[in-house]
Amino acid sequence: MVVGLQSPAQANFWFIQGRVLFLIIPILGTALFAYIVARRLMPLIRAQRDLRFDRPLIRLERVLKFWLGQWKHPRYRFAGTIHILIFAGFILLATRAFTLLTQGASPSFVMPGLSGEAGHVYGIITDYAATIVFLCMIVAAIRRIVFKPARYAVPARYGKGHPIDAIFLLALIAILMVADSLFLGSKAVADAQQGQSVEFLAVLSLPWALKSLLLSSSMATLQGLYLGAFLTHELTFFFLLCYRPFGIQFHVETPLFTIYFAKLDREILKPVRWGVPDEGLDQVKSFGVKSFEDFTWKHMLDFYSCADCGRCSDNCPSNAVGRPLSPRFLSIKARDYAFQHYPVFSRSRNGNSKPLIGSIYSEDEVWSCTTCGACEEECPLLVEYIDKMVDLRRGLIDDGNVPQSLQKPLKALESRGNPYGKMEKKRAEWAKTADFQQVCHVKTLDKSNGAETLYFVDSITSYDERMQSIGRATAKILDHIGENFGILGSAEKDSGHEVRRFGEEMLFIALRDHNVDAIKTLGVKRIVTADPHAYNALKHDYKDVPPVEHISQVIAREVKAGKIRFNPVEKDLVYTYHDPCYLGRHNQIYDDPRDVLDAIPGLKRVEMSRCRDRSFCCGGGGLMLFYEPKEDQRMGVKRVQMAAEAGANVIVTACPFCMANIEDAIKVAGMEGKMTAIDLAELVDKQVARE
Ligand code: SF4
Ligand code: SF4
């Protein structure tokens, strides 16, 4: 008869004493893991600099929010809840796993602080944690095998999916939970049979269920299960640890660091080279990313951390309209490249510096991005895409690979300061129409003719006949509220916002420096613009210019102060507001335009399913007005359909680029007469109650 259970440390496994075996397995497992991780870090060591060591407290706060607090996961309610449960389970079980592993060599080990009553409470909590994690594994496996959410699918052009890998990982975790629970359950039954005090197992938990199943088992069976469960737990734990850096499951370890080092000023574009000032760019031999090693170490860490959850691509407008771009695969392909070219167990191919374009990425893929930021907004791990896109474009531009359709606008920007190639002296002609001049006079500022406020118009509003109406409406609003304002006229050049996102850094610098010099000579106290792209450039890309506001902010403030009142709108129209990416996602201006609309008497407003930080790009960002992408459908058409589905017949936006795309899309979708578009400034100018 067996008296009490023999502990794993006392038992012999294949003639090796447990105490020795369970010392060797953790040492070997940890050493192997350390070696694998060191190998995985090799490309990061060879990568470009990235200065991410500032503001540690803010970074820690973000770790607490986005890693520990899983802040973004509930954006996908079901999958997010499962993830939070698994994550919380892992965190709770970490101490129990460590205790169990240590008890292999030292059976009496108890985690400090977890003896006595505290240990019992912790035991109950972790019994439930193991149960929840186990059940979540089953649910996740059913989702992968049976329901297969569309965002997990791998389109043929991106290779094959790896559902078996995913199932294998889920199975390993499930085995870990069962082994842990069986260890406790078999011990509890044996202790009860021997008349010893029995550790309380949480009712209806997995250990409790296994205990109930084993109640009539013999001591010999219980002994076998007890030791088998311990050995299985030990081996599975270290196998999992060392297996994870070989695939998507590496994201279990890396996100803590990815989130800690995540970009704090998301709206500021990455410099060409960290630590190289603009004046030193002439000395930089190669711009942007051409080979894998041109990525920064943080961007490589992003590749390792991507969980392949598909949320970024699910929200990417380029992906939605069939352009050859899916941000998820931008990461997955780069991660596969790193694994292939920096193998763990061979040094033969390390760092072969192949050009990325043509091997893992295509030119169309890189040009298809509108820099809308939807992917970054959605990613629960704060993986960055826009900087990578811009860096890849910088590399292409540096090698002279400019898409045909963009060559002309770029040349025009260089020679004339606008993408249309129009004369500088015609820049202010929008303000010179006879009708307009009867109601509003816009002065052109210079050293001798000053004003408090500069209205920065930018190219599209200055030269595009349709958008000039937005310029006139903006000027009339500023005039109505008594603003002492003026424009730069022919001294203004394009803000360079799109040029920079297109990857033409030197041209951007030339445009920026010209505008900054021109603005500085005026001595204005603030800048107003109706163009979110200009707003973003002036606010984040320019330095040493006065504070800038978008016209929607100015109007909202004046409405609140009672300086702007409105006449009622026609009652039978239903309005919806389209958030421009560079006003909403990039600058968090969501409420001001809505507040203005809601202040107009009789205006009925509905929200589209994708609004605010999930707004769907119109397709205009990053010089996209001039680029002819390969796509199944225009983004604007999709957006107009969303407005119609919401029951709207007027789309209000606050960006000339959005206006160009949306009006065009209304025609393409055959919805003329059923749907119209209007800029917020135009609507305000139309409805404002003038004395
Ligand atoms: S980048 Fe982020 S959102 Fe996209 S698949 Fe990876 S983890 Fe998911
Ligand atoms: S920035 Fe927008 S278009 Fe570009 S990859 Fe992200 S979601 Fe897609």
pLDDT in tens, 292-316: 999 999 999 999 999 999 999 999 9
Token couple for 230: 């311990």
pLDDT in tens, 159-201: 777 788 889 999 999 999 999 999 999 999 999 999 888 889 9
| Ligand with minimal distance to 255 CA | 1
Token couple for 269: 């574009």
Q: In ligand 2, which atom is closest to the CA atom of 373?
A: 1
Question: Does 341 have pLDDT greater than 60?
Answer: yes
Average pLDDT, the chain: 94
pLDDT in tens, 640-663: 999 999 999 999 999 999 999 999
495 Cβ below 6 A of ligand 2:
no
- Residue of the CA atom closest to atom 8 of ligand 1: 309
Tell which one of 315, 379, 389 to mutate to probe ligand 1, the residue whose CB is within 8 A of the most ligand atoms: 379
| Ligand with minimal distance to 303 CA | 1
Question: 17 pairs with which residues across the strands?
Answer: 12
Q: Which of 545, 495, 540 is nearest to 525 (CA)?
A: 545
327 Cβ below 6 A of ligand 2:
yes
- Give the pLDDT score at 348: 58
Buried b (16+ CB within 10 A) or exposed e, 523-558: ebeebbbbbbbbbbbbbbbbeebbebbbbbbbbbbb
Token couple for 549: 């506001």
- Give the pLDDT score at 1: 45
Contacts of 114-121 with CB under 8 Å at 24 or more apart are 120/199, 120/200
Q: Which of 84, 80, 48 is nearest to 379 (CA)?
A: 80
pLDDT in tens, 370-414: 999 999 999 999 999 999 999 999 999 999 999 998 999 999 999
- Residue of the CA atom closest to atom 7 of ligand 2: 316
Q: How far is the CA of 272 from the centre of ligand 2 (A)?
A: 20
Q: How far is the CA of 309 from the centre of ligand 1 (A)?
A: 5
pLDDT in tens, 245-255: 998 888 888 99
At residue 187, what is the residue type?
K
- Residue of the CA atom closest to atom 4 of ligand 2: 369
- Give the pLDDT score at 352: 62
Contact 605, 575 (CB under 8 A): yes
Q: Which helix (H) or strand (E) holds 97?
A: helix 77-103
Contacts of 332-335 with CB under 8 Å at 24 or more apart are 332/158, 332/248, 332/306, 332/308, 333/158, 333/360, 333/361, 334/292, 334/295, 334/300, 334/303, 334/360, 335/303, 335/304, 335/306
Q: In ligand 1, which atom is closest to the CA atom of 307?
A: 7
316 Cβ below 6 A of ligand 2:
yes
385 Cβ below 6 A of ligand 2:
yes
Contact 189, 217 (CB under 8 A): yes
Tell which one of 381, 382, 387, 388 to mutate to probe ligand 1, the residue whose CB is within 8 A of the most ligand atoms: 381
Return the percentage of the chain with pLDDT > 90, whole number: 87
Return the percentage of the chain with pLDDT > 70, whole number: 98
Contact 623, 369 (CB under 8 A): no
- Give the pLDDT score at 350: 58
- Give the pLDDT score at 3: 62
Contact 364, 624 (CB under 8 A): no
581 Cβ below 6 A of ligand 2:
no
Listed in sequence order, the residues at least 6 apart from 470 whose beta carbon sits closer than 8 Å to its beta carbon are: 461, 530, 656, 659, 679, 681, 682
Q: How far is the CA of 431 from the centre of ligand 1 (A)?
A: 46
- Residue of the CA atom closest to atom 3 of ligand 1: 379
| Ligand with minimal distance to 378 CA | 1
Q: How far is the CA of 331 from the centre of ligand 1 (A)?
A: 8
Contact 144, 152 (CB under 8 A): yes
Please give the angle made by the CA atoms of 592, 593 and 594, to the nearest 5 degrees.
90
Contact 522, 447 (CB under 8 A): yes
373 Cβ below 6 A of ligand 2:
yes
- Residue of the CA atom closest to atom 3 of ligand 2: 369
Q: Kindly tell me the number of DSSP H helices and DSSP E strands found in the chain.
A: 28, 11
pLDDT in tens, 59-82: 999 999 999 999 999 999 999 999
Better-scored residue on pLDDT, 14 or 120: 120
Q: Which helix (H) or strand (E) holds 192?
A: helix 163-193
386 Cβ below 6 A of ligand 2:
yes
Handedness of CA 673, 675, 681, 685 (dihedral sign): positive
Ligand 1 site residues, Cβ closer than 6 angstroms:
306-312, 327-328, 331, 378-379, 381, 383
Token couple for 91: 């965190």
Q: How far is the CA of 75 from the centre of ligand 1 (A)?
A: 13
Question: 485 pairs with which residues across the strands?
Answer: 453
User: Cα separation of 227 and 186, whole Å?
Assistant: 10
**292-301, 403-412, 453-462, 512-521: least confident range:** 403-412
What are the CA-CA distances from residue 18 to residues 15, 44, 74, 188, 416 (Å)? 9, 39, 44, 21, 80
Tell which one of 83, 249, 328 to mutate to probe ligand 1, the residue whose CB is within 8 A of the most ligand atoms: 328
Q: How far is the CA of 165 from the centre of ligand 2 (A)?
A: 27
pLDDT in tens, 567-615: 999 888 999 999 999 999 999 999 999 999 999 999 999 999 999 999 9
Tell which one of 309, 313, 375, 387 to mutate to probe ligand 1, the residue whose CB is within 8 A of the most ligand atoms: 309
Q: How far is the CA of 356 from the centre of ligand 1 (A)?
A: 20
Q: How far is the CA of 159 from the centre of ligand 1 (A)?
A: 17
Average pLDDT value for residue range 558-565 = 96
Contact 383, 329 (CB under 8 A): no
Please report the DSSP string for 240-300 in residue order: HHHHGGGSGGGGGTTHHHHHHTS-S-TTSPPPSSTT--GGGGGG-SS-S-SBGGGSBHHHH
Contact 524, 546 (CB under 8 A): yes
Q: In ligand 2, which atom is closest to the CA atom of 617?
A: 2
- Give the pLDDT score at 570: 84
- Give the pLDDT score at 177: 97
Contact 303, 331 (CB under 8 A): yes
Q: In ligand 2, which atom is closest to the CA atom of 327?
A: 5
Question: Does 128 have pLDDT greater than 60?
Answer: yes
Better-scored residue on pLDDT, 155 or 43: 43
Question: Does 451 have pLDDT greater than 80?
Answer: yes
- Give the pLDDT score at 346: 80
Tell which one of 384, 617, 627 to mutate to probe ligand 2, the residue whose CB is within 8 A of the most ligand atoms: 617
375 Cβ below 6 A of ligand 2:
yes
| Ligand with minimal distance to 365 CA | 2
Contact 17, 104 (CB under 8 A): no
Average pLDDT value for residue range 317-327 = 96
Contact 657, 535 (CB under 8 A): no
Question: Does 53 have pLDDT greater than 90?
Answer: yes
Contact 561, 567 (CB under 8 A): no
- Residue of the CA atom closest to atom 6 of ligand 1: 306
Q: How far is the CA of 604 from the centre of ligand 1 (A)?
A: 37
621 Cβ below 6 A of ligand 2:
no
Q: How far is the CA of 103 from the centre of ligand 2 (A)?
A: 50
- Give the pLDDT score at 207: 97
Token couple for 53: 């060591």
Question: Does 469 have pLDDT greater than 60?
Answer: yes
| Ligand with minimal distance to 299 CA | 1
Using only C-alpha atoms, the chain has a radius of gyration, in whole angstroms, of 31
pLDDT in tens, 343-361: 998 865 555 678 999 999 9
- Residue of the CA atom closest to atom 6 of ligand 2: 375
For β-strands 12-13 and 16-17, DSSP reports them as antiparallel
Tell which one of 71, 306, 384, 385 to mutate to probe ligand 1, the residue whose CB is within 8 A of the most ligand atoms: 306
Question: Does 622 have pLDDT greater than 70?
Answer: no
Q: Which of 605, 607, 683, 596 is nearest to 645 (CA)?
A: 607
Token couple for 538: 């002036």
Token couple for 414: 């260089």
Better-scored residue on pLDDT, 55 or 157: 55
100 Cβ below 6 A of ligand 2:
no
